[in-house]
Amino acid sequence: MDTATAAPALLDRCARAFHAHFNKPPTLAALAPGRVNLIGDHTDYNQGLALPMAIDRWTAIAAAPRTDNEIHAGSALGGQVLRIENSTAAPAWTTYIRGTLELTREAGLNLGGLDLWIESDIPTGAGLSSSAALCVALATLIEHATGITLGHAAKARLCQRVEHEYAKVPCGIMDQTIIAAAHEHTAMLLDCRSMVTTYIPFDGREVRVLIADTGVSRALASSAYAARRAECEAAAAFLGVQSLRDAPAPTEEWGTSIPLRRARHVVTENARVQAFAEAIRARDWPAAGHLMDQSHDSLQGDFDITGPALDALIQCARDIGQTSGVLGSRMTGAGMGGCAVLLVRADAADDIAARILPAYSARTGNIARVFPVRPVAGASAATPPIITH
Ligand code: GLA
């Protein structure tokens, strides 16, 4: 199984790389985790319910102020330092840096010039919110450096605006909220209308969460995502409600029309999130797993967002089955590639991880990776480690 780098080791690597590239030690640092959504997908932009947790994979930033007003940034992804203001044709990650810097400045957090270096062990393009982690980590570092706190909700909205206005991704608010506001050892029930967050204890004594990456990047994800958002809006208009959160219970007459199938997914998914929250509170793991299975079926059948790779991976998990410890499994995040999430019996986690990889490769020819995750706290500023050579 893939193993994660512990946060202190990642921070240390980041501080060393900063020192090597800028020839001075960092004076600021921040960490933000990735996230996995346990249940409740394509509900957040319909003012619905989601139940994510932050995972023990992080993005680390080490930084130091500059005497001019320039922003120079480098990342392990690109390996070189770029001047951000000049980087419109530069790699995608620089867009997130530019957006977060501009919007925090607009919000009154004025930092002046900055040198920064980024390291991450969150797989990119896999649906584990590496871009939201980057924005939230940087916003957190800027809060710490300026002494001005935005607060979790405002920081999440600001980072969502970076996606909308700079990366042109019309995402909801789930990823940024869990990454900013997660509590260790809990999953978060998030009401995307009231923005009330409820933390539900979720430890790994009896069950583990496994992430299985299809190895297929979410190439079609952005066009399909925007199309589904538009279909949900059309469905709400047809049903005469302001958002699908207020849609009535589906009836037989809803049939197979596309907007009403989308609505049926959202309405039933909101109910599943609520039932899942009760199930994990009661430590009723078979019930929680069954709801995850139903969620995947709904995302596949009514929302048409799973795609062949995810469906093959879920089939492999189902073939291993409950008797071998797979309690439930589903796609997670935007869909169309990316990752699946499995709820498994703790004592069977290693065996399941070892069995699912060859089964999936045999079925698809793709290489998957599987790793366990645990619920960690949200983004925080950190003391930069002291570098001793
Ligand atoms: C992506 C978006 C989220 C959410 C999920 C689907 O991860 O960034 O806002 O809409 O897809 O649940």
Tell me how far CA of residue 354 lies from CA of 3, 42, 337, 365, in angstroms: 14, 30, 21, 16
CA of 175 to the centre of ligand 1 (A): 7
User: How many whole angstroms separate alpha carbon 124 and alpha carbon 108?
Assistant: 30
Q: Is the pTM of this model over 0.85?
A: yes
**Residue 19, SS3 per DSSP:** helix
Q: Bridge-partner residues for 37, per DSSP?
A: 52
Q: Which atom of ligand 1 approaches the CA of 127 most closely?
A: 7
**Residue 260, SS3 per DSSP:** helix
User: How many whole angstroms separate alpha carbon 142 and alpha carbon 29?
Assistant: 10
Chain centre distance of CA 213: 13
Contact (Cβ atoms closer than 8 angstroms) between residue 65 and residue 299: no
CA of 182 to the centre of ligand 1 (A): 17
Choice from 164, 171, 336, 341 to test ligand 1 binding pocket (greatest atom count within 8 A of CB): 171
CA of 140 to the centre of ligand 1 (A): 21
Choice from 175, 176, 303 to test ligand 1 binding pocket (greatest atom count within 8 A of CB): 175
CA of 176 to the centre of ligand 1 (A): 10
**Residue 295, SS3 per DSSP:** helix
- Indicate the angle between helix axes 92-106 and 130-146, nearest 10 degrees: 40
**pLDDT number for residue 386:** 84
User: How many whole angstroms separate alpha carbon 332 and alpha carbon 17?
Assistant: 32
**pLDDT number for residue 86:** 64
Q: Bridge-partner residues for 375, per DSSP?
A: 55
CA of 340 to the centre of ligand 1 (A): 14
User: How many whole angstroms separate alpha carbon 50 and alpha carbon 39?
Assistant: 6
Q: Which atom of ligand 1 approaches the CA of 163 most closely?
A: 8
Contact (Cβ atoms closer than 8 angstroms) between residue 190 and residue 49: yes
Q: Which atom of ligand 1 approaches the CA of 169 most closely?
A: 8
User: How many whole angstroms separate alpha carbon 118 and alpha carbon 21?
Assistant: 11
Q: Hey, CA dihedral for 162, 163, 164, 167, is it positive or negative?
A: positive
CA of 273 to the centre of ligand 1 (A): 15
CA of 27 to the centre of ligand 1 (A): 34
**Residue 225, SS3 per DSSP:** helix
Q: Bridge-partner residues for 49, per DSSP?
A: 191
User: How many whole angstroms separate alpha carbon 315 and alpha carbon 183?
Assistant: 32
Ranges in the chain, pLDDT < 50? none
Q: List the one residue out of 26, 215, 24 whose CA is nearest residue 119.
A: 26
Name every protein residue with a CB atom under 6 angstroms from any ligand 1 atom. 37, 41-42, 44-45, 171-172, 174-175, 333-334
Q: Which atom of ligand 1 approaches the CA of 37 most closely?
A: 12
Strand residue runs (E) in the chain = 28-39, 49-65, 71-75, 81-83, 114-120, 186-191, 197-201, 207-213, 326-331, 339-345, 369-373, 380-382
User: How many whole angstroms separate alpha carbon 217 and alpha carbon 309?
Assistant: 10
Tell me which DSSP letter residue 45 carries.
G
CA-closest residue to ligand 1 atom 8: 171
How many other β-carbons are positioned within 10 Å of the β-carbon of residue 15? Answer: 23
CA-closest residue to ligand 1 atom 2: 171
How many other β-carbons are positioned within 10 Å of the β-carbon of residue 232? Answer: 24
- Beta strand 71-75 with 114-120 is parallel
CA of 44 to the centre of ligand 1 (A): 7
- Beta strand 81-83 with 71-75 is antiparallel
Tell me which DSSP letter residue 317 carries.
H
Tell me how far CA of residue 380 lies from CA of 56, 78, 104, 137, 385, in angstroms: 14, 24, 16, 7, 15
- The amino acid at residue 360 is Y
Contact (Cβ atoms closer than 8 angstroms) between residue 308 and residue 348: no
Tell me which DSSP letter residue 282 carries.
T
**pLDDT number for residue 4:** 64
User: How many whole angstroms separate alpha carbon 186 and alpha carbon 202?
Assistant: 5
Q: Bridge-partner residues for 63, per DSSP?
A: 28, 116
Q: Which atom of ligand 1 approaches the CA of 45 most closely?
A: 10
Q: Which atom of ligand 1 approaches the CA of 42 most closely?
A: 12
Residues with a known catalytic role: 175
